[in-house]
Amino acid sequence: AVLEWLWDNAAGPVLGLLGHDRRPSAEADWPRVWWVPGGVLGLLPLHAAGHHTDPADDARRRTVLDRVVSSYTPTVRALRHARRTSGGRVLPPDASVRGLIVAMPTTPGVPGLGRLPYVAA
């Protein structure tokens, strides 16, 4: 139930916005998604989110594992630094690379209009 909830509320919407709505074809390179979860979300397995009872042969199977290669990074800054240099060489920019940053400005159920203490808006 947790993996399904995680798909419905986090991973599925993000992959949908990125256009990853089906399993890549056998000859295609699989897209990579870098997850940068914050707070408690970092304790959950975003790479395993999904409805694993969907038929395995369904190209639109609702699981992260069937749509992208997942990687994790602690911060966007760390990812930027790692992508700028690799083994001392600067990596060329890739025009096909797209980014999506999803932020949650307030947290439902938290007193004070959902604003987290000690977090700048």
Kindly state whether residue 113 falls inside one of the protein's structural domains: no
Kindly state whether residue 83 falls inside one of the protein's structural domains: yes
Report pLDDT digits (tens) over 69-113: 999 998 888 887 887 776 655 556 665 566 667 766 666 776 777
The predicted structure's pLDDT at residue 61: 96
Kindly state whether residue 33 falls inside one of the protein's structural domains: yes
What's the structural domain count of the chain?
1
Say if CB 33 and CB 15 are below 8 A apart: yes
Domain range for 67 is 2-90
In percent, how much of the chain has pLDDT > 70?
A: 74
Burial class (CB in 10 A: 0-12, 13-18, 19+), 64: buried
pTM of the model: 0.74
